[in-house]
Structure 1
Amino acid sequence: MMKLSTMKKVMDTVDSEWRSPLGELILEKWGYDEGTVFILRASANFIFVFKKDGKQYYLRFNDSCERDLSTIEAELNIVQYLGSKCLHVAQPIKSLNGEYIETVKTEIGTFYAVVFEAIKGKHYDFEEITSDQAYLWGKSLGALHENLKQLPEEYKINRPSWRENLLKVKEILPSNETVAKKELERIVKWAEGLNISKENFGIIHYDFELDNLVFAESTIGMLDFDDSSLNWYVADIVYALRDAGDFNIKHSIITNFIQGYESETLLDMQILKETLSLRRCTN
Structure 2
Amino acid sequence: MLPLSHIANVRKTVDDEWRSPVADAVGERWGIPDGNLRFWRSSAAHVFVLPPGGDARGVLYARFAPTDRPSGWNLERGARLHARLSEAGAPVASLVRSPSGRAVERVKTPVGEMVACVLQRVDGEELDLDELDPDRATAWGTALAGFHQKAGDAAQEVLPPSDPFALLAGHEADGELAEAARVLGKVPRQEPAPLVVGHGDFELDDLRWHARKPTCFDLDESGVMPAAADVASAVRDLLGPRPGSPRHPELLSAFLDGYRRTTGHSISPEDLLLHRAAFAAQQLAQAPAVMDVELDGGGWLSGLAASLTRHYAEQRAIVLATADVMG
Partner of 1:207: 201
Partner amino acid, structure 2, of 1:227: E
Partner of 2:7: 7
- Number of matched residues? 273
- Equivalent pair of 1:162/1:230 in contact (CA under 8 Å): no
- How far off is 1:9 after superposition? 0.4
Partner amino acid, structure 2, of 1:236: D
Partner of 2:129: 126
Change (3 A) 1:29 1:250: closer
Partner amino acid, structure 2, of 1:153: A
Partner of 1:177: 174
Find the partner of 1:265 among 244, 263, 266.
263
- How far off is 1:250 after superposition? 7.1
Change (3 A) 1:219 1:12: same
Which deviates more, 216-225 or 85-94? 85-94
Partner of 1:82: 85
Change (3 A) 1:218 1:52: same
Partner of 1:62: 65
Give the fraction of aligned pairs with identical amino acids, expressed as a percent. Answer: 25
- How far off is 1:209 after superposition? 0.7
Partner amino acid, structure 2, of 1:114: C
- Equivalent pair of 1:162/1:231 in contact (CA under 8 Å): no
Change (3 A) 1:8 1:54: same
SS at match of 2:16: coil
SS at match of 2:259: helix
More helix by share: 2
- How far off is 1:119 after superposition? 1.8
1:81-137 C-alpha deviation (Å, 9 max, x unpaired): 322332201243221222222222123211111112322112121112233221211
- Equivalent pair of 1:62/1:113 in contact (CA under 8 Å): yes
Measure, in 1, the Cα distance between the counterparts of 2:84 and 2:109.
Answer: 32
Measure, in 1, the Cα distance between the counterparts of 2:117 and 2:86.
Answer: 16
Measure, in 2, the Cα distance between the counterparts of 1:161 and 1:75.
Answer: 17
Unmatched tracts of structure 2, length 5 or more: 278-320
Point out 4+ residue stretches in structure 1 off by more than 6 angstroms. Answer: none
- How far off is 1:214 after superposition? 0.7
The yes-or-no answer on 1:281 pairing with 2:279 is no
SS at match of 1:112: strand
- Equivalent pair of 1:141/1:261 in contact (CA under 8 Å): yes
Measure, in 1, the Cα distance between the counterparts of 2:45 and 2:209.
Answer: 23
| 1:13-32 alignment, distance < 5 Å | 13-32=13-32
TM-score by length of 2: 0.73
SS at match of 1:119: coil
- Equivalent pair of 1:59/1:115 in contact (CA under 8 Å): yes
- Equivalent pair of 2:45/2:71 in contact (CA under 8 Å): no
SS at match of 2:263: coil
Partner of 2:190: 195
Unmatched tracts of structure 1, length 5 or more: none
Partner of 1:45: 45
Partner of 1:227: 221
SS at match of 2:40: strand
Find the partner of 1:238 among 224, 232, 245.
232
Find the partner of 1:100 among 98, 103, 107.
103
1:220-260 C-alpha deviation (Å, 9 max, x unpaired): 10111111133221122222222232453972222221222
- How far off is 1:78 after superposition? 2.3
| 1:149-188 alignment, distance < 5 Å | 150-151=152-153, 153-154=155-156, 156-157=157-158, 160-163=160-163, 165-166=164-165, 169-170=167-168, 174-188=171-185
Which deviates more, 21-30 or 86-95? 86-95
SS at match of 1:181: helix
Measure, in 2, the Cα distance between the counterparts of 1:221 and 1:175.
Answer: 43
Measure, in 1, the Cα distance between the counterparts of 2:184 and 2:150.
Answer: 28
Partner amino acid, structure 2, of 1:265: T
Q: CA RMSD in A?
A: 2.8
Measure, in 1, the Cα distance between the counterparts of 2:85 and 2:147.
Answer: 8
- How far off is 1:71 after superposition? 5.1
TM-score by length of 1: 0.83
